[in-house]
Chains A and B, each alone.
Chain A
Amino acid sequence: MTPRQDKILGGLLCAAIGDSMGAPTEVRTTEMIKEKFGGLVKDLIQSPMDNYGRGQVAGLVTDDFSVSFYSCLACLDGGGVVNRENAANGMFVWMDHPEYSRNAGPTTRTAVARLRGEKVPPERPLKCINNRASNGAPMKSGFIGLLDAGNPDKAIDDTITLCEITHNNTLALSGAAAIAAATAEAMKPGSSYIECVEAGIYGAEEGFRRSKATARPVAGASIVKRIRLAIDIGMRRQGNFDLAMKELSEIIGGGLPANEAVPAAFGYIVATKGDPMETIYMAVNAGDDTDTVACMAGYIVGALGGYKKLNPRYLEMIEKENNFDLRGTALRIDALLGREDV
């Protein structure tokens, strides 16, 4: 495997690991996770019956990685480009897999129905619908950073195209662009977590600015400023896993809104100096929307560290349980990027 192939597979696999490892811990607090599982969760295990995972087997991913992966395949199948049609096809395939999309919210379902040309009930004529600034956009944008390896600027544009079909508001797109831009930066040889975080802030700023003319306005805390706050916390707490995780979850939060989940992901990356599995462990055990945060962070740190930093057993498990061809997909992305290594 070439270094670039290693990075691509690392990004895909680490995102899948984060999602799957977070499935059992989702919705709980750190204390509740420790109590339920006898300590922090650091392996792929079966989900309990009292969260959205609903007893799902170890290694199965959830809505997060699956929507991202099907979107990735749709873009590869559709000529290797990110356009509206490919983005919509990814959503259609995903919705046809209820094992992954069963917990999709009303906003996503309505958006997909509209894309399919179905009649949807008219909505209340509000200028701003602030609860749509959710992490549903950033949870699927990580793969864009692999397709646009080394090119954060293109990753930002492609992310807006990918995500505006379901989350056409400035904050969700700002968050999605942050994840994709950071992943694109992570694909550069010699990149460290510091450049990735800087690219993430750039992506958040540009995602907001470039989408402002076409996306709906929303009110909500700034992704950019909250990433900066998360960096402060993560940097001061490097070397103290428990305290970093506690402060990030208490102050930044790790919930459904994009302006919690995305900044939290960057906070964990800084706190662990970009170590792939340490980042995942922190995201998985910080509580709330753990699988989403771990999946998003996983794209970045997985591409940064590469497949060589990950446990090959997880690759076997995830490919088998989900019937996903991660290795083949990584090679397809690599082929798309051309002969010249980035």
Chain B
Amino acid sequence: MIGMYDRILGAFLGNAVGDAMGAPTETRPTYLIKEDIGDGGYVFDFMKPLDDTLAAGMEKGMVTDDFSLSYVTAKHILEKGGVTREACVDALAEWIRDYKVYYEKHAGPTTRDAVARVLGEEKQLFLGQLYSVDSDDSSVFTVCNNGEATNGAAMKAWVAGIFSRGNIDIAIDNAIVIGRVTHENAVALAGAGAVGAAVAAAMGGADLAGIVDAGIYGAHEGLRRSWDMLAQKSAGASVEERIKLAVAAGMKYSNDFDACIAEMADVIGTGLLANEAVPAAFGFAVAAKGDPMKAIHMAVNAGNDTDTVAAIAGAICGAFRGTASFPAEYLLFLSEVNAMDIEGIAKQTYEFLI
């Protein structure tokens, strides 16, 4: 029986390990990961990022935007005593101030836009409130903002799953709150709903099939519940349908590492868009039978947005299996390199929830 604290720490650790191990392989396709980073083979350890990557100049074991923004968001949720927009906005402000290097090197396009919007002159203004057909700015007059269907909402949505006490519906609502601060986009929030729901299911003791069901439900509900909240809509491939396809791929290639990562990278995609990264993370979680390190190793080597896919898969699997499958030294190593008290925040979260 895996205890609640172990699941919480497992999710924090899974997210951090996936993010840090994926940082050096991010943007490359699999064959270049092997050629340039893995000395001809796959990468199964933390590495120092090369100069031609987004993580250039960072140290081995340093996380990126995925874990750092999630960590700060959890911190502010604890301070405010719940998942609120205010907590998330404060977290974003602290993140760009005190975790500047993670923001400057790694923040994606949608999050960057949001920082200006949420923290700038017109503080707290949703992009939706800017939407006006009379504007001359195409980002304001178009009825849909399809370019913002990115994975930056999903990358931190696991925090919603942790704080929902195993309640999937609350997790979806909270994932929307957390995601919406930066991503006013229903496809992005479908991805957030999927991740939040899956982590909530894992926290509640669901089996792997139950986690997948929750993820599919979360994607559906994330899209449906956020749709009417948003002034600008979004077209794009369905996160829900692609999760099904990715889970099928995970099942089919569970025993074949090469074929599994090729299928996920080539067909599902492992890129910046929420409808690629989130389904791929579910596919790897299933292929790994929920083992966090196995899922992370697949995601790290599948190419493209490796750190985000690995971070999401790591959080889901970490909540599912707890800390047992992580090498014992990882927690201390990552906490030191990143100057973050991972164990401390997991303890505070546990104490808050019980």
- Report the minimum CB–CB distance from B46 to chain A (whole Å): 20
B36: which A residues are within 8 A, CB to CB? 127
- Report the minimum CB–CB distance from B183 to chain A (whole Å): 16
When the two chains form their complex, are residues B133 and A29 in contact, meaning their CB atoms are under 8 A apart? no
When the two chains form their complex, are residues B237 and A256 in contact, meaning their CB atoms are under 8 A apart? no
Segment with Cβ contacts to B, from A154-162, A218-226, A316-324, A333-341: A218-226
B270 an interface residue at 8 Å Cβ cutoff?
Answer: yes
A137 an interface residue at 8 Å Cβ cutoff?
Answer: no
CA A152 to CA B242, docked complex, whole Å: 32
Given known A127-B28, A250-B241, contact A221–B271 (CB-CB < 8 A): yes
In the complex, which residues 190-247 of chain A have their Cβ closer than 8 Å to any Cβ of chain B?
217-222, 225-226, 229, 247
B270 partner, pick from A219, A226, A254, A260, beta carbons under 8 A = A219
- Report the minimum CB–CB distance from A231 to chain B (whole Å): 13
B138 an interface residue at 8 Å Cβ cutoff?
Answer: yes
A130 partner, pick from B142, B242, B272, beta carbons under 8 A = B272
Q: List 9 A-B contacts (CB under 8 A).
A: A49-B141, A103-B138, A125-B52, A217-B29, A220-B271, A221-B267, A222-B266, A252-B237, A255-B146
B275 partner, pick from A28, A125, A226, A253, beta carbons under 8 A = A253
When the two chains form their complex, are residues A50 and B236 in contact, meaning their CB atoms are under 8 A apart? no
Number of interface residues of B (CB under 8 A): 42
B51 an interface residue at 8 Å Cβ cutoff?
Answer: yes
When each residue 26-47 of chain B gets 1 if its CB lies under 8 Å from chain A and 0 otherwise, what string results?
A: 0111101000100000000000
Given known A126-B54, A256-B146, contact A217–B32 (CB-CB < 8 A): yes
When the two chains form their complex, are residues B27 and A126 in contact, meaning their CB atoms are under 8 A apart? yes
B269 partner, pick from A27, A48, A220, beta carbons under 8 A = A220
A27: which B residues are within 8 A, CB to CB? 142-144, 146, 235
A288: which B residues are within 8 A, CB to CB? 146, 235-236
Given known A52-B142, A219-B28, A219-B265, contact A131–B272 (CB-CB < 8 A): yes
Given known A252-B237, A255-B235, A287-B235, contact A219–B271 (CB-CB < 8 A): yes
A252: which B residues are within 8 A, CB to CB? 237
With A32-B143, A50-B143 given, can you name 13 additional A-B contacts, CB distance below 8 Å? Answer: A27-B235, A28-B233, A29-B234, A50-B141, A127-B32, A129-B27, A217-B29, A219-B32, A220-B269, A222-B266, A251-B241, A254-B237, A259-B269
A66 an interface residue at 8 Å Cβ cutoff?
Answer: no
Q: Is the interface of A mostly helix, strand, loop or mixed?
A: loop
- Report the minimum CB–CB distance from B38 to chain A (whole Å): 15
- Report the minimum CB–CB distance from B261 to chain A (whole Å): 12
A113: which B residues are within 8 A, CB to CB? none
CA A309 to CA B73, docked complex, whole Å: 58
A51: which B residues are within 8 A, CB to CB? 142-144
When the two chains form their complex, are residues B27 and A128 in contact, meaning their CB atoms are under 8 A apart? yes
When the two chains form their complex, are residues B245 and A251 in contact, meaning their CB atoms are under 8 A apart? yes
Residue of chain B at shortest CB distance from A253: B237
A54 an interface residue at 8 Å Cβ cutoff?
Answer: yes
B54: which A residues are within 8 A, CB to CB? 126
- Report the minimum CB–CB distance from B112 to chain A (whole Å): 14
CA A50 to CA B237, docked complex, whole Å: 21
A68 an interface residue at 8 Å Cβ cutoff?
Answer: no
B235: which A residues are within 8 A, CB to CB? 27-29, 32, 249, 254-255, 287-288
